[in-house]
Chain A
Amino acid sequence: MKSSSPIGQKMLVGFLLVAMVSCFNPSDYEPIYSWSNVEINSEIKGSNRVEKVIAPYRVQLDSIMDEVIGYAAHDLTTEGDYESLLGIFVTKLLIEQSRSTFIRDVDVAIMNHKGGLRAPINKGDITLGEVYEMLPFENNVLLLEVPGEDLVEVVNFIAKSGRSMIWPASFEITDSGVQNIRIDGQEINPDETYTLSISDYLANGGGGFRMLKSLKRLDVEPVNMRDLIVLEIRQRTARGDSIKEELSNSVTVLTK
């Protein structure tokens, strides 16, 4: 980031000289540009004035965010096609925590793991601050009633965008669309209504999920998604469990 390549510079100079000649007039003036982006690194002497303003905020923040709330047995990231360890962790807990929080049957959960989860959980102690960095957004979790035929459309969108995960579901991606969709091992039933745990961001049509906007919402008080994640981690810690997940290989790609 520090410097531009000399070859690139020469090419640009040459390119613009050509452009210059084509519209050159002695009485005209034109600006001369140069650029030099500066990398902000630890070799730069920081501003004391700014540092003094930050300090009390940092103390207040660290006193809360440095609390260790659990332990990760391995790194959980959003890497992977169609599913990721972090995505599995979050969709699974969305179902479990929604069931206990809302006291409803919940069939499936969807999370936009790519884009919605902004930082990994690294192996080792998990601090509250790490969870904030993973999910900085003030998203609420709510429940949607999804007719089976609409859920098929949703799964097709998920397969196409590749940015969200649905759990517990398996399906096959073919050149002509998605086939053999199973919800918790059962073949999807277009006539059945499924209860979906999801963020208000996606339910409002975010992440491309426009088809969700018109669906009926269950009459439950939405809860902050990060609060549910923190609750899950604290509960596992209280049980003596760490955070660990395995890939499920629930999506099969059959495209040519």
Chain B
Amino acid sequence: MKRRQFIVQSLSASASMAVSPYFDRPTVLGLKKRKITILHTNDMHSHIDPFEEGRYKGLGGMAARAGAIDKIRGEEDNVLLLDSGDVFQGTPYFNMFGGKLELKLMSIMNYDATTIGNHEFDNGMDGLKYAMQFAKFPYLCSNYDFSKTNLAGEVQAYKIFKKGGIKVGVFGLGIELEGLVNAAMYGNTVYQDPISIAKEMVEDLRAKKCDLIVCLSHLGYKYRRPESPSDMRLAQEVSEIDVILGGHTHTFMKEPLLLTNDEGFTTIINQVGWAGINLGRIDISFTRNGKNVKSQGPIELTN
């Protein structure tokens, strides 16, 4: 099911243009223009209120974020609202209320999914389970095995969303826990290699005919040690992930990175800093004709 990859390979392997059975079988039939708007956050770290001082003074805040999301929902039909983990920890709201308020507010904002960041374990497995009851959206994580924990059956590897006729497969990836998270806190959670799991996820989601594959990653953008799993390594080693929404490294990206790997597949990687200072937005339109990429200026939010 390596659709785009197949096209590139057959063009380079043969002078003939008409070798692939996929060529005359567009995945989405009869569309004029379908569009999906992905909004995303990462590493909000319990920043319920805007910063009161320091370099980020006045930025962030969940009421303002909700206002921005409401405005975009008023303009766009097909919004997918996603988070890449580390919702917890960083202000006394988490210490006092254990993540309840963060997840209640994300539910009011109609988040579609989040993943499990390393700080989700900060109050232990029981603390995470307690808080999760306030989330009216799924936790997606494919490479933590929770089967021997109290979260068995509560975390899905992936979920397929249908928005305006577009099938979007979303899966999550978590970072190595040993040495990063207090072992007593993650208990019997088993970390598995995110790169090989991601390959399985992509196969599953392609087999289920997803038009778009999105990864909620808490691996981090990139590391000095190239062998450390990161979003860069993921995009290089696993084709067919269309969008990686990253986290963990609190990376403020001026614009998404478009990484074309050795197999010729291009993945969009985006990460929007931390603390809810930014809301990431990627609009994807499906049209009949050709591949194109354009970027647009900032959306003015002045009401």
Chain A interface (Cβ < 8 Å from any Cβ of B) = 1-5, 8-9, 12-13, 15-17, 19-20, 22-51, 53-54, 57-58, 60-61, 64-65, 118, 122, 129, 132-133, 136-139, 200-201, 204-208, 210
- The residue in A30, A53, A206 that gathers the most chain B C-beta atoms within 10 A of its C-beta is A30
- Decide: B290 and A41 in contact? CB cutoff 8 A: no
Report the separation of the CA atoms of residues A118 and B86 in the bound assembly, to the nearest whole angstrom. 14
Interface residues of B in 267-285 (CB under 8 A from A): 268, 270, 272-273, 276-285
A16 to chain B, nearest CB (A): 4
- 25 A-B residue contacts at CB 8 Å? A12-B295, A16-B292, A17-B292, A22-B264, A29-B288, A31-B285, A32-B292, A34-B285, A35-B281, A39-B278, A40-B60, A40-B61, A40-B64, A42-B58, A46-B63, A46-B67, A47-B70, A54-B49, A54-B62, A58-B49, A64-B96, A132-B92, A133-B91, A136-B91, A138-B95
B257 to chain A, nearest CB (A): 10
Residues of A within 8 A of B108 (CB): 49-50, 53
Report the separation of the CA atoms of residues A139 and B122 in the bound assembly, to the nearest whole angstrom. 9
Residues of A within 8 A of B49 (CB): 54, 58
Compute the total of residue contacts between A and B using a CB distance below 8 Å: 254
Interface residues of B in 64-92 (CB under 8 A from A): 64-68, 70-72, 89-92
Name the contact of B294 in the complex, choosing from A13, A53, A210 (C-beta under 8 A): A13
Stretch at the interface among B174-182, B202-210, B223-231: B174-182
Chain B interface extent, by class: 35 or more
Residues of B within 8 A of A23 (CB): 4, 7-8, 11, 264, 291
B130 contacts the other chain (Cβ, under 8 Å)? Answer: no
Smallest CB gap from B36: residue in A: A31
Report the separation of the CA atoms of residues A46 and B256 in the bound assembly, to the nearest whole angstrom. 26
- Decide: B179 and A4 in contact? CB cutoff 8 A: no
Interface residues of B in 215-257 (CB under 8 A from A): 242, 252-256
B213 to chain A, nearest CB (A): 11
Name the contact of A40 in the complex, choosing from B96, B266, B268, B279 (C-beta under 8 A): B279
- Decide: A8 and B301 in contact? CB cutoff 8 A: no
- Decide: A206 and B295 in contact? CB cutoff 8 A: no
- Decide: A136 and B180 in contact? CB cutoff 8 A: no
B267 to chain A, nearest CB (A): 11
- Decide: A51 and B268 in contact? CB cutoff 8 A: no
Report the separation of the CA atoms of residues A15 and B294 in the bound assembly, to the nearest whole angstrom. 11
- Decide: A19 and B291 in contact? CB cutoff 8 A: yes
- Decide: B122 and A47 in contact? CB cutoff 8 A: no
Name the contact of B92 in the complex, choosing from A19, A54, A129 (C-beta under 8 A): A129
A230 to chain B, nearest CB (A): 12
B14 contacts the other chain (Cβ, under 8 Å)? Answer: no
- Decide: A35 and B295 in contact? CB cutoff 8 A: yes
